[in-house]
Every structure is written in C-alpha cells, then in structure tokens.
Structure 1
Amino acid sequence: MTDIHEVLDRRAVTTLFQPLVEIASGRVLGYEALSRGPAGSPWETPAALFGAARQFGRESELDWICRARAYESALAAGLDEGLSWFVNMEPAAARTACPPDLAPVVERAERRLRVVTEMTERAIAVDPSGLLSAAAACRAAGWGVALDDVGADPMSLALMPFVHPDVVKLDMAMLRAPGDPHTARVVAAVAAYAEASGAVVLAEGIETEQHLAVARTMGATVGQGWHFGRPAPLAGPDGASASLPLITPPRNGVRTPFGIVAGRRPVARTTKAQLMPMSRHLEALAADGGEPAVLLACFQDARHFTPATARRFARIALSSPLVAAFGTGLSDEPAVGVRGACPGDDDTLCGEWNVIVVGPHRAAALVARDLGDRGPEGERRFDFALTHDRALVVEAARSLLRWLAPVRTPELLVG
C-alpha cells in the first residue's frame, strides 16, 4: 500500500487477541483486541498507524475501523457468549458518526457481544464531557468500561472515580517495582476504589510466576500477559471460560452540585464573608502536594475570579490532573493550566458557588446557592452544604464535567 489514506480507505486493519484470565481458577474471562496495520508496512504498529492517521485528521475514523474489525473477528469466532471483549476507544471518536460501511457490524456487536470499552485516564483531562458521554453510551448498550494503564501517570488516580470503571487495569510497571512508594500509593488507591465499587482489578504484563505472585498481593483477580498467552488471531475454545462481572453504573443526571449535595445533606445559611474561609480551606486541600487532586470551582461571574485567585489556581494546576473554573464571562483558559467554562446567563449553575476537591484518598465539596441579595459583597447570603462523603462529592463533581469543552488542538495540515 502506498500511503496511510489507502490503508484507511481499504480498512486494512487486522486484530490480534490476548486472553484475560481469572487468576484463581485459570479460566478465560475474555480477550483484549489489539489492532495492527498491514504486515511489513510502515504502519504495522499501533503507534505508527494512529500517528499517521492523526497527522491527516483521520484518527477518529481509524478508531471506528479498529473497533469494527475487532467486533467482526469476535463475532466470526463463535466463542462463548459470556466472554468479555476488551476493545480500546478514544472518546473523541464518540463525537463522530460511525462510517456507514462499518455500521452493520457495530450494530451486530451491540446485540450479540459483551464488550468492555477501554479508556485511558488522559482522555478525561482532554475531553471530560466526551468521556462521560462515551462511557454512558457503552453502559446504555449493556457494555462495561475499563480504565487502562492505571499507575503509569501519577495523576491518573484522582481521575479514576470520574470514569467509574468496571475494571481497573494496573499498568505493567507496577509488577516490576512492587516496593516503590508510588506503586504502594497506586495499589492502595485502586484497592479502596475496588472495595467501594465492586470493580475488578486486572494486572497487565504478567510474564512470570513471580509477576503472578506480585499481582495477587496487589489485589488483582484477573491477569493478562505472556504468562497466559501472547497476542494472536482467535482460535477455538481451549479451556473453561467464565463471565467477568460488571458493577452498577454511576448516576448521571442534569442536576447541579448544589442540587445533588443539598438533597442529601443539611443546608445552612450564611454570608459570603463566612464562606470564604471554607472555600480557601478546600483549595488548600487541592494544593497539598502529597497527592494530585482534581479541583473544580464555580465563581458565578468572571469578576469573582480575581487575579489573586488566578495565581492560586495556576499554582495548583502545576500538580493537578484537572483544574477548572466555571462562571459567566470566563475564557477557555482563565489562568495558565486552568480549564474555563462559561455557562449561559440563564444557566442554573450561574447561581452557585461551589468548590469541589477529589483526590485519590480525600474528597470534599462546598456547595452554595446565591439568595440574590444586592447589598455589600461580603454580606451577600447563601444557602450552603458541606460534605466529605466521597461518593456524594464525586457525583457532584461529575455533574460539572458536562460544561467543559474538549481541549483545542492546532489544526492539522492535510497534504
């Protein structure tokens, strides 16, 4: 083939599969689909394939091609219907329509396959709204969601509860450095999430019996790696299989943080001057360098996002996976490294002052609703509620992500 356009136009992508195995029993629970370009071509590896497609603005199309080819192979294999098929997806592709020629196989897959869509933590920082929409669409089809490469980026742990994955895939580096302090922090955070949610912990990169033993100590119940099988075309069943459990999906609604928290926590009334110390305290939690945390704050109006506030938020953004400010008149980047969102003047969010912090081991939310006073600024009154209930805080935080647009990237030149 002469160029990447011919590869994509001919849908010249093949799929290899690697087994996912229940560690305790050795039973196969499913397979991960791994896409490859034409053998012997410059685009054979996934990195080269996607890099070339990205250069010409066809990455989302390639994502659809890879998924469709994986579904096609899984359907043709005729294996146990209880098996789970792990297939990677970039949330940006969910914003583009499926190419018409691929739609039939995608529709058959939705009816007949048990798919677990794999996403990476970087996707939520780039396009939070797109990721949540993509995850919701997967769950609406009865499919699951997996968070891939957890631990590869120290900031990924704070983003894990937003994805609310059915499966957490520990990056293979964790098995190679079990005594590293970073590994210990990752394993503790993943164990806490799995215990609270019922999610499955899967260890990637298991190549030896030693790796398998380490994976068990990290709480992994499912393994993947050369110890169980290398990527290969699908063959007939070679042993007992079982179904991988999925967890209860998170609640997704259209309520604001105040509506979510105030519905389940006591509400009090006070002035802006009295709320300020609480707000700054929560900012300080996010600024604590001990664990990267997500910070989301609603300012009602851009005038409340003062230069001093901008400096504080920019400092926090240096060590945070996601810092965002919401308010009428705010730009897409009101401070360096800070995401901005500008709700409409009639948006219910404009009446709220919220500060929400979510870290791997801590969570807190101050939510307040303006009562509309017109007096001195410090005497303006608010109804407010404060919570450290992790599940409630995460639900409130998730409700804000739909206002965040994808990060803008420079336009690519098409040759």
Structure 2
Amino acid sequence: MPGLDHNAQTSEPAADDARVFHIHEVIDQRTVTTVFQPLVDLAGGGLIGFEALSRGPAGTSPDRLFAAARKAGREAELDWVCRAAAFRTILATDPDPALTWFVNMEPRASRVPCPPDLAGIIDEARHRLRVVTEVTERSIADDPAGLLTATTGLRAAGWGVALDDVGADAGSLALMPFIHPDVVKLDMQLLHEPDEPHTARVAAAVGAYAEASGAVVLAEGIETARHAATARTMGATIGQGWHYGRPGPLPAHARAGSSLPFIEPPRLSVDTPFTIVSRKRPVTRTTKGRLMPMSRHLEALAGDGTQPPVLLACFQEARHFTPATATRFARIAMHSPLVAALGTGLGTEPAPGVHGTAFGPNDPLVGEWNVIVVGPHLAAALVARDLGDDGPDRERRFDFALTHDRALVLEAARALLPWLAPATSGELVSAAGSAFG
C-alpha cells in the first residue's frame, strides 16, 4: 500500500499503518458482517424489531473499524458498506414488513454518493424495510449541515430517526429539538445510576420532549428484570439489552408483536427569527448600545450550568464579531454541544469550536441581530432588525423583541438550520435521497 512505512523506528506507527492497510481490505472486499439485537415492548414483551450491529473480520468492533477508516479517509464509504451489509442480511430472510430495523449512520455519508455496487440493495431496502436511522449527538456538533441533509432525506423516504446515547453527554439533551427524533435512546449507564441527579435531569428532559412530540423512549443496556422496571420509571416503553437477547444472527420467521410509530417533524420556517418572533411578541425600538447588555446576558446563559445549551447568533457582518466576542464564543464552545455564528464575511470557524456561516449581501439575515439559546430546561431569544441608521455604531437603532417561550424560541432556532447547511431544502432532500440509490 502506498505510504506504508516498513522502516518505522517504533512499533506504534507500524501498527497504525497495518490497521489502515487492513481497513482498505475490509472496505474493498466488503468483509463486514451484521449481528442483530432484539427490541421489545416493555409493557407486553412483544417484539418491536432489531438493531443491526456491524462487525469486521474476526469480530472487530465498529469503533475500531471506523477509527481506522477515519484515519484512512474512507469513513463514509465504510458507513455505506455497513448499512448495505445489514440490509442484505435482513432482506435475505424475507422479513415481516411490520418489524422496525435500527441502523446506525454517519451523517457525513450523505455527502458521498453510494458506491455503485451497493446501490441496488440500498434502494431495495428503501422500498421494503421500515428503518430507524440512529445518529449521535457527536454527529450534530461535528457536522450539523451533514446531519440536516441526512435526516431531511431519510424522512422524505418515510424512515425514522433515533438519537442514540442520550445522557452519555450533557449536550445531547439540548440537541434533541433540532433533530426531533422519533426515538430517544437512553444511555445504558442511566440504568445503573437511577438515583443520581444527572439521571433525574436526563429523564425529566427526555420525558418533556417525548410528551410534547409524541416520540418514543428506548432504554439500552437492560440486563435484568429490575433494570426493565427502572427503565419504565424513566419513561421508556421499549427495551434493549441482554435480558431480551444478545447480539447474534437473525432468528428465523421473526414476527412483530408491537408497532413503533413515527412522528411528524416540524417544518422549517422560511421566515427569519425576527419575523417569527415579532409576529407574536411586542416589538420595542432602541439603540445598539442598549441591546448589547441583553445580548451578553443571553450569551452568559449559554455558558452556565451543567447542561450547556445550544447558542446560535447572527452578527450581520463579520466586523461585529469582534475579538472580544470571538473569545466569549470560543469559551462557550468548549462546553456547548453547538455554537454557531452567522454573518457576511465570516469563515467556517470564526473562533475555535464555533461553526461559522457566511451569507450574501442580499440575504434577509443581513439586517438582523439575533441571539438564540436553547437548552433542556432553558430557551431564550433576542431578535432585532436594523433600521439602517448612519452615525455612531452604538447609536444605530433596532426594533427588537425578547421571548422565553420555548415553542417560539425553537421555531426561531430551527429557522437558522438551513443557513448551517450549504443547500436549499429541496437540495437537501435530493442529496440525502442519493442514499437510497
């Protein structure tokens, strides 16, 4: 393989190169297999479906496979290979169409065309299988545009979305409303720490989201009847774990005993945050100088607490994203699951850890100064529209509105998501639709 250093002075680089060489073989030869773990209805014990779990040669774990593929620059292709292997195995059994299949996906794969030799099996799965695609909070923070592309296309295909490992990272709770998952998967560690304050906070936030959205809560890692009972107290209605079966081959003639509903995701508004909020909240006129303390107050909320929120902000132009602002945002980004700054002339990372998006001079957001904070138990939005005054910067006038209404804040925040993706909503569907052949 090009780049393989046989003269390395230490064993570690050689071992790394050997793993990379091995991952090329795995991907090129499609030597990935799939095992399956059942998902059951906690109330009646009926079979809901299965989660597909990928394995490499000799049972290599998916974590090791994807770490090597990431280093080799072939992570997206490996993701296609794993999903195709799962679908091929499922379809070979002539499955019950009522079964639901949970399959993991890296959102970056939505940016890479499906390999031609896998397109047929992917397309067949689209038409024959009822699939829930699992994503993690890491994928949102790392690639919000890729995640938006992927989930938009998946839902257009009639499939569902699950947010995995909720509770393992503090950021996953704040990110739930942006994915709007059909299924929330509680991290297995919560079952082992049912009396911890962190567990209580996670259960409360997930319960509130599920009640408002109609989403289903699934508990992972159930090993005993006691775990199952604990899971139900946390609001879970579906269970997964060794208590119901270890990962293994698909059982013959598996039939669904219960169904899992998909929910209707909220539509992304074509309006700007100021337009959305000002329709329902009083608008006041003031100067930039008087708005600045309010803006910094909301930024401070984003940097406070054990469950850090998402922070989305519009700065009109890059010159308003000052060095002092960049320092504050970088500090918040160290703990927040997603921090984004939008403005004309801003780069893709205007400060360390901050997602940047530049828009054109005629974009409607150029006239707005917005600061939006969304956490598990916190929501606030300051939205302002520039009146176009000349004169000293601090004396420029804005119309503004402030709201803490969660539904209204979320609507305004979701309206910014298309600006985090380099495509229109129609292109998003098309791009993710390529995932299905």
TM-score, normalised to structure 2, is 0.87
Report what 1:154 is aligned to.
Answer: 170
After superposition, where does 1:57-96 map in structure 2 within 5 Å?
A: 57-96=73-112
Q: 1:28 and 1:155, CA in 2 relative to 1: closer, same or farther beyond 3 A?
A: same
Q: State yes or no: 1:392 paired with 2:411.
A: no
Q: 1:50 and 1:317, CA in 2 relative to 1: closer, same or farther beyond 3 A?
A: closer
Report what 1:217 is aligned to.
Answer: 233
Contact 1:374 1:380 in 2 (8 A): yes
Report what 1:177 is aligned to.
Answer: 193
The alpha carbon displacement at 1:239 in A equals 6.0
Report what 2:5 is aligned to.
Answer: none
Q: Secondary structure at the match of 2:419?
A: coil
The alpha carbon displacement at 1:52 in A equals 2.2
Report what 1:403 is aligned to.
Answer: 419
Query: How many residues are treated as equivalent by the alignment?
Result: 403
Report what 2:345 is aligned to.
Answer: 329
After superposition, where does 1:52-201 map in structure 2 within 5 Å?
A: 52-201=68-217
Contact 1:128 1:402 in 2 (8 A): no
Q: Which residue identity lines up with residue 139 of structure 1 in the other structure? A: R
The alpha carbon displacement at 1:350 in A equals 1.3
Which range is displaced more, 85-94 or 97-106? 97-106
Report what 1:3 is aligned to.
Answer: 22
Report what 2:263 is aligned to.
Answer: 247
Q: 1:5 and 1:338, CA in 2 relative to 1: closer, same or farther beyond 3 A?
A: closer
After superposition, where does 1:217-366 map in structure 2 within 5 Å?
A: 217-237=233-253, 241-366=257-382
Contact 2:96 2:256 in 1 (8 A): no
Q: Secondary structure at the match of 1:345?
A: coil
Gaps of 5+ in 2: 1-18, 423-437
Contact 1:27 1:239 in 2 (8 A): no
Q: Which residue identity lines up with residue 161 of structure 2 in the other structure? A: V
Distance 1:71 1:239 in 2: 17
Report the aligned-residue RMSD.
2.0
Which range is displaced more, 284-293 or 332-341? 332-341
Contact 1:15 1:33 in 2 (8 A): yes
Distance 1:333 1:366 in 2: 23
Contact 1:77 1:235 in 2 (8 A): no
Report what 1:412 is aligned to.
Answer: none
Distance 1:318 1:238 in 2: 46
Distance 2:156 2:42 in 1: 29
Contact 1:289 1:319 in 2 (8 A): no
Report what 1:33 is aligned to.
Answer: 52
TM-score, normalised to structure 1, is 0.92
Q: Which residue identity lines up with residue 383 of structure 2 in the other structure? A: V
Which range is displaced more, 308-317 or 342-351? 308-317
Q: Secondary structure at the match of 1:392?
A: helix
Q: 1:315 and 1:6, CA in 2 relative to 1: closer, same or farther beyond 3 A?
A: closer
The alpha carbon displacement at 1:290 in A equals 4.0
Gaps of 5+ in 1: 407-415
Q: Secondary structure at the match of 2:416?
A: helix
Which range is displaced more, 93-102 or 318-327? 318-327
Match of 2:37 among 18, 23, 42: 18
Contact 1:251 1:395 in 2 (8 A): no
Report what 1:378 is aligned to.
Answer: 394
Q: Secondary structure at the match of 2:58?
A: coil
Contact 2:170 2:306 in 1 (8 A): no
Deviations 1:157-207 (CA, angstroms, capped at 9, x unpaired): 111111110000001000011111211111111111111111100000001
Q: Which residue identity lines up with residue 154 of structure 1 in the other structure? A: A
Q: Which residue identity lines up with residue 60 of structure 1 in the other structure? A: A
The alpha carbon displacement at 1:90 in A equals 0.3
Which range is displaced more, 277-286 or 235-244? 235-244
The alpha carbon displacement at 1:337 in A equals 2.9
Q: Where in structure 1 do 4 or more consecutive aligned residues deviate above 4 Å?
A: none
